C-alpha cells in the first residue's frame, strides 16, 4: 500500500470509511514518502511516533464506530504554528531550540478533527520571503524541478503537498505566501478573509496582514480543511464571529450568471505572452461554465507593493522586538553587558532578510519619518480596499494571474531584493484589503506549473472554492504531478 500517499484527501477519507486501508497504513505510507523525498527539505521536524500513535487511536475509534471522518488523515503544519511539545522554529536560528508549551488554535482544531500530524514544514525565516531560500535550515526545492524554488514563505507546505508527502498542509499568507507557492508547485492554496481563521499561536510577522490558510490538491480538499480551521476564537481579538458556511456543500452551486471581473492592472504589459495564453484558457473555461467576464478597474493597485513593503516591515519591527536574547530566542554566550547581549543575540539569531525588514520597518516608524512613510502607506491601503469594494459592486469575483511567471532558479534573485519583492505584485493587494484569495493550477508552461488567482468579497471563500471546483471538474490541471514520485 505504498501508493496510498498518491490519493487525494477525499479519496483517503473514502478509503478509511470503507475499510480499504487503515489509518496506520495510510500514515506509514506518507512517512515513507517523506523519507524518500528528504532531499526536497520540505520538513524541519518529522513527528513519526506521534503520527502513528494518533493513527492507531483513529483505527481503534473506527472499530468502535466512534471515529470522525477525518480521523487518521495525515496533515503537516507550517513551522510558524506553535505545537505543544514539538519544535516551533519559524525557520530561524533564533528559535531553533524552542518547544512551544501550547498548541496554536489551528493546530488544536486539526487535532480535534482527528488529523495525524506528520511534522513541521520548512519556511522562509519568520515567513519573510518569496522563495523559501531564507530558511536557516536550508532552501526547500521544487518537486517539479529541484534546481528551482517552490515559492515562499510557505514553500515547505506547497512542496510537501505537490510531492504527495501530505494531502493537506497548513500555511500562512501575509502578502501571497500561500498563493504564490501554490502556483509554483501546481497545488491549490487558499488565503481566507482576515479574521476567518484564528491567529492565536501563529507566530506573528505583520499582525494586520497575517492570515492562516491551507494548501491542498483540489478545491474540494480545501473546502474540507477550511471547515475545520475556520471560525471564531475568543483568544484572538481579530477573530471574526461571521458564521462559517458549509463549504463543501456550496461547491456544486452553479457558475451560471456569476460575473467575474478582469482587473486591467493585472492584464497589462508586465504579463508574458505565455502567461496571458494560460489565463486565456482559464477565461474560456469559465465562459463555457456560464460565467460572464467583465473588465474592472483597480486604479491604486500599482501602489500595493510599495505600501506593503512599508507596512509589513513596520509591523515586523514591532513583533520581532521580543526576540532579544532575554525573553525569547537565541542568547549569545558570555555577553559583556546588556547592549552586547541584545546586539549579538539578534545579530546571530536573525538572517539577512529578517534584519533587512526590521531595519526598514524601524526606519519607517522612527520620529520624523512616520508620517512620510507608515501613515502614507496606510492611506494608500485604504484606497486599495475601496477600489476592491467598488469593483465588487460590479462583479462577484476577480480573476488574474497569481505570479508574473513560473518558478525561478534557486539563487537567481537572492542578490536583488526588489526583484524578489516584485514576485508578490499580484498577491499583496488582497492582504492589504483583508480579502480572501485562492490560487489554482492552470496547466504547465515549459514543464513548470502556473496558477490563476480568484479574489472575492470578504467572507466569500465558498464562492472562490465553488468556481475553482467547477473548473476542476472540466480540466485536469490539478491532477498533474511531478515525475518520479
Determine whether 153 is an active site residue: yes
Q: What residues contact 437, with CB distance under 8 A and at least 6 apart?
A: 173, 179, 190, 191, 427, 430, 453, 454, 455, 456, 464
Among candidate residues 8, 22, 130, 153, the one labeled active-site is 153
Among candidate residues 78, 120, 191, 413, the one labeled active-site is 78
Residue 312 three-state SS: helix
Q: What are phi and psi of 255, to 5 degrees?
A: -85, -10
Q: Report the distance separating Cα 173 and Cα 350, nearest Å.
A: 21
Determine whether 283 is an active site residue: no
| Distances from the Cα of 350 to the Cα of 83, 152, 329, angstroms | 22, 18, 10
Angle in degrees, CA 447, 122, 197, rounded to 5: 100
Angle in degrees, CA 152, 155, 161, rounded to 5: 145
Among candidate residues 154, 157, 177, 218, the one labeled active-site is 177
Q: What are phi and psi of 422, to 5 degrees?
A: -70, -10
Determine whether 413 is an active site residue: no
Q: Which has the closest alpha carbon to 181: 418, 339, 403, 422?
A: 403
**DSSP-derived secondary structure letter, 93:** G
Q: What are phi and psi of 260, to 5 degrees?
A: -115, 120
Q: Report the distance separating Cα 115 and Cα 482, nearest Å.
A: 26
- Active-site residue set: 78, 153, 177
Amino acid at each position: 500500500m505504498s501508493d496510498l500517499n498518491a490519493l487525494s484527501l477525499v479519496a483517503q477519507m473514502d478509503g478509511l470509511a470503507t475499510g480499504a486501508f487503515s489509518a496506520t497504513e495510510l500514515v506509514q505510507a506518507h512517512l515513507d514518502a517523506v523519507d524518500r523525498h528528504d532531499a526536497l527539505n520540505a520538513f524541519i521536524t518529522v513527528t513519526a511516533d506521534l503520527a502513528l500513535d494518533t493513527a492507531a487511536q483513529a483505527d481503534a475509534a473506527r472499530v468502535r464506530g466512534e471515529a470522525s471522518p477525518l480521523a487518521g488523515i495525515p496533515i503537516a503544519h507550517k513551522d510558524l504554528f506553535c505545537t505543544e511539545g514539538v519544535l516551533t522554529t519559524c525557520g530561524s536560528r533564533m528559535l531553533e531550540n524552542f518547544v512551544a508549551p501550547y498548541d496554536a488554535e489551528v493546530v488544536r482544531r486539526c487535532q480535534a478533527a482527528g488529523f495525524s500530524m506528520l511534522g513541521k514544514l520548512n519556511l522562509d525565516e519568520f515567513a519573510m520571503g518569496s522563495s523559501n531560500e531564507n530558511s536557516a535550515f536550508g532552501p526547500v526545492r521544487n518537486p517539479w524541478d529541484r534546481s528551482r524554488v517552490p515559492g515562499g514563505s510557505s514553500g515547505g507546505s506547497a512542496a510537501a503537498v505537490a510531492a504527495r508527502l501530505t494531502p493537506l498542509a497548513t500555511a500562512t499568507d501575509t502578502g501571497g505566501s500561500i498563493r504564490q507557492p501554490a502556483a509554483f508547485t501546481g497545488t491549490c492554496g487558499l488565503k481566507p478573509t482576515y479574521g476567518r481563521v484564528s491567529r492565536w499561536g501563529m507566530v506573528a510577522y505583520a499582525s494586520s496582514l497575517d492570515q492562516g490558510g491551507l494548501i491542498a490538491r483540489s478545491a474540494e480538499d480545501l473546502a474540507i480543511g477550511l471547515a475545520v480551521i475556520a471560525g471564531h476564537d475568543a483568544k484572538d481579538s481579530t477573530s471574526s464571529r461571521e458564521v462559517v458556511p458549509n463549504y463543501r456543500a456550496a461547491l456544486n452551486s452553479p457558475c451560471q450568471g456569476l460575473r467575474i471581473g478582469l482587473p486591467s492592472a493585472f492584464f497589462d504589459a508586465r504579463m508574458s505572452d505565455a502567461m496571458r495564453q494560460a489565463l486565456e484558457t482559464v477565461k474560456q473555461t469559465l465562459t463555457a461554465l456560464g460565467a460572464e467576464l467583465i473588465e474592472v478597474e483597480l486604479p491604486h493597485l500599482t501602489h500595493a507593493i510599495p505600501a506593503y513593503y512599508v507596512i509589513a516591515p513596520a509591523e515586523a519591527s514591532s513583533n520581532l522586538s521580543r526576540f532579544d536574547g532575554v525573553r525569547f530566542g537565541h542568547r549569545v554566550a558570555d555577553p559583556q553587558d546588556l547592549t552586547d547581549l541584545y546586539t549579538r543575540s539578534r545579530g546571530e539569531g536573525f538572517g539577512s532578510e529578517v534584519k533587512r525588514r526590521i531595519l526598514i520597518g524601524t526606519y519607517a516608524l522612527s520620529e520624523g519619518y512616520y508620517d512620510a512613510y507608515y501613515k502614507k502607506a496606510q492611506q494608500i491601503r485604504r484606497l486599495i480596499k475601496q477600489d476592491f469594494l467598488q469593483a465588487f459592486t460590479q462583479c462577484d469575483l476577480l480573476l488574474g494571474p497569481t505570479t508574473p511567471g513560473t518558478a525561478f532558479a534557486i539563487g537567481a534573485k537572492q542578490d536583488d531584493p526588489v526583484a524578489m519583492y516584485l514576485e508578490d505584485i499580484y498577491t499583496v493587494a488582497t492582504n492589504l484589503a483583508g480579502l480572501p484569495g485562492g490560487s489554482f493550477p492552470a496547466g504547465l508552461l515549459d514543464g513548470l506549473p502556473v496558477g490563476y488567482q480568484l479574489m472575492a468579497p470578504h467572507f466569500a471563500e465558498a464562492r472562490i472554492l465553488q468556481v475553482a471546483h467547477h473548473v476542476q471538474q472540466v480540466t485536469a490541471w490539478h491532477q498533474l504531478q511531478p515525475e518520479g514520485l
